[in-house]
Amino acid sequence: MPKLAIDGGTPVRAGMLPYGRQAVDQEDIEAVVDVLRSDWLTTGPKVAEFETAWSRTTGARHTISVSSGTAALHAAAFGAGIGRGDEVIVPALTFAASANCVLYQGGKPVFVDVQADTLNVDPAAVEAAITHRTRAIVAVDYAGQPADLDELRAISKRHGLWLIEDAAHAVGATYKGRAIGSVSDLTTFSTHPVKHVTTGEGGMITTADDTVAQRLRWFRNHGITTDHRQRAEKGGWFYEMVELGYNYRLPDINCALGLSQLRKLEPWLARRRAVAACYDAAFARLPAVRPLAVHPDREPAWHIYPILLDLEGLGQGRAQVFAALRAENIGVNVHYIPIYWHPYYQELAYPRGLCPVAERSYERLITLPLFASMTDQDVNDVVAAVTKVVEAYSA
Ligand SMILES: *Cc1c(COP(=O)(O)O)cnc(C)c1O
């Protein structure tokens, strides 16, 4: 059996393979340079063009671009009318921003558990957590697989709640044939460089609700309305601030990059799905490695490829396996630490043990590299390193 790199052996590959990275080509660069030479650096024609393209991709009626995925979640919480004392149900196993957006609005995140096989939020746990103060549900499409949206929509309708979908992992995914972005009341996306398409920093909100869409356009621009008729009547300087908004605008420079990137989404999704299929096939032979279950009625976008380790079978902690894979130059990561384990949330007195499936899953999770520009050699290296490490510890 080959000696592990962590024990002084030769690593599977010479250079570190990151868990995710952007692909920027000459076309992207030229698109950005064109904007730099134009009259508009921030809010210009590229904003509406990018939003229209995003609506086409996601089947949405409206897309509102903002400066990050976190700003998109904040806008969604605002759009859902979350205010002081309102409870919002959030899965425990996600990025902190999925819950922070509730705090921004003065609301209270109520953490619920995920399902052991998909790590998506458990609809039964959601229903059990509803009180007379509940106003919304945040569903996260974990790893890019859509959550149980029909069940969650039925619950949200029955109780008069907003369904906010954090689809930061899931642009291009489909649920029962419908594109993600066209299913929930409000869907948020991120265009951070580790996500499917990038604008540097950026985020999008999609909705079918005309009134909310208008309020979100105000929200991202200080709550200012720009009504041309009012200007004509009262003077060219006139504007009114009608909501407490923010400067969450996404500049034209970034939108031009996003437009150019979005044209490549289909081949990139195909590549991500092909890499995930290679991993699935390879790990079916390793009993100590369990990939996520995928429902046949939805097609994931595969933002990340997490595996769950059988730590008892390996006789090792996750930290040891993680360090061994890093030593082989595989840039593994972990998604996610349960949100309420973070010190800030511990201060808010969420008890440990609140969401046992999320907590247990976290202890055995490792995210493997997955991005569209991975070569076949990169994929083989990941499979070889996981096999090497797992077999060494299983022996
Ligand atoms: C990336 C991400 C966000 C935040 O997006 P930013 O653009 O980095 O602000 C929110 N939720 C989830 C699940 C994410 O993965």
Average pLDDT over residues 227-254: 89
Q: Is the pLDDT of residue 226 over 90?
A: no
Q: How far is the CA of 384 from the centre of ligand 1 (A)?
A: 30
* The ligand 1 atom nearest the CA atom of 194: 1
Residue 231 has pLDDT above 90, yes or no: no
How far apart are the C-alpha atoms of 374 and 154, rounded to whole Å? 39
Mean per-residue pLDDT, 84-96: 98
356-391 as b/e: b if 16+ CB within 10 A: ebbbebbebbbbbbbbbebeeebbebbbbbbbbbbe
Contact predicate 181/60, CB 8 Å: yes
Q: How far is the CA of 17 from the centre of ligand 1 (A)?
A: 22
pLDDT tops 80 at residue 75: yes
Q: Would you please indicate which residues are annotated as catalytic (active-site) residues? A: 195
* Cα gap 120→91, rounded to integer Å: 8
Percent of the chain, pLDDT > 70?
Answer: 100
Q: Does the C-beta of 168 come closer than 6 Å to ligand 1?
A: yes
Query: Does position 227 have pLDDT exceeding 90, yes or no?
Result: no
pLDDT at position 229 over 80: no
Tell me what pLDDT residue 268 has.
98
Distance 69 CA to ligand 1 centre (A): 5
Q: Does residue 140 line the site of ligand 1, with CB under 6 A?
A: yes
- The model's confidence at residue 238, banded by pLDDT at 50, 70 and 90, is confident
Strand 305-309 with 289-291, pairing: antiparallel
Q: What pLDDT score was predicted for residue 1?
A: 82
Residue 348 has pLDDT above 80, yes or no: yes
In this prediction, residue 102 carries a pLDDT of 98
> Which pLDDT value is given to residue 62?
98
Give the containing element (helix H, strand E) for 178.
Answer: strand 178-179
Contact in structure between 299 and 176 (CB atoms under 8 Å): no
In short, whether 200's Cβ falls inside 6 Å of ligand 1 is no
User: pLDDT by residue (tens digit) across 139-184?
Assistant: 999 999 999 999 999 999 999 999 999 999 999 999 999 999 999 9
76 touches ligand 1 (CB under 6 Å):
no
pLDDT digits (tens, 9 = 90+) for 367-376: 999 999 999 9
**50 burial type by CB count under 10 A (0-12 exposed, 13-18 middle, 19+ buried):** buried
Please report the pLDDT score of residue 106 as a whole number: 98
Mutate to test the pocket of ligand 1, among 19, 22, 68, 95 (most ligand atoms within 8 A of CB): 95
Nearest-CA neighbor of 194 among 57, 369, 70? 369
Task: Round the average pLDDT of the chain to a whole number and report it.
Answer: 97
The stretch 123-146 carries a mean pLDDT of 98
For residue 228, pLDDT over 90 is answered with no
Q: Decide whether any atom of ligand 1 lies within 6 Å of the 94 Cβ.
A: yes
Nearest atom (ligand 1) to Cα of 202: 7
User: 190: Cβ below 6 Å to ligand 1?
Assistant: yes
Question: What whole-number distance in Å separates Cα of residue 362 and Cα of residue 322?
Answer: 13
Q: Determine if ligand 1 sits within 6 Å of the CB of residue 166.
A: yes
Residue 230 has pLDDT above 90, yes or no: no
Pairing of β 186-190 and β 174-175: unpaired
CA of 120 to the centre of ligand 1 (A): 16
* Size of the chain in residues: 395
Atom 7, ligand 1: residue with shortest CA distance: 69
Helix, strand, or coil (residue 253): helix
Strand 178-179 vs strand 174-175: parallel, antiparallel, or unpaired? antiparallel
Residue 100's pLDDT is 98
pLDDT tens, 12-63?
999 999 999 999 999 999 999 999 999 999 999 999 999 999 999 999 999 9
Q: Which residue has the tokens 């008729």?
A: 229
pLDDT at 233: 83
- What per-residue confidence (pLDDT) applies to 235? 83
DSSP 76-88: HHHHTT--TT-EE
- The one-character DSSP state at 137 is E
Q: Which residue's CA lies nearest to atom 14 of ligand 1?
A: 168
- Stretch 119-147: mean pLDDT: 98
Residues 6 or more apart whose Cβ sits within 8 Å of residue 70:
97, 100, 101, 190, 203
Helix (H) / strand (E) containing 365:
strand 365-368
Task: Give the per-residue pLDDT at 256.
Answer: 98
**What pLDDT, on the 0 to 100 scale, is given for residue 168?**
98
The CA 77 to ligand 1 mean position distance, Å, reads 15
pLDDT at residue 236 tops 90: no
Q: For residue 237, name the pLDDT band (cuts at 50, 70, 90).
A: confident
Q: Which residues of 85-122 are buried (b: 16+ CB within 10 A; e: fewer)?
A: ebbbbbbbbbbbbbbbbbbbbebbbbbbbbbeebbbbb
Segment (H or E) for 138: strand 134-140
Q: Between the CA atoms of 381, 383, 384 and 390, what dihedral angle is there, to the nearest 10 degrees?
A: 140
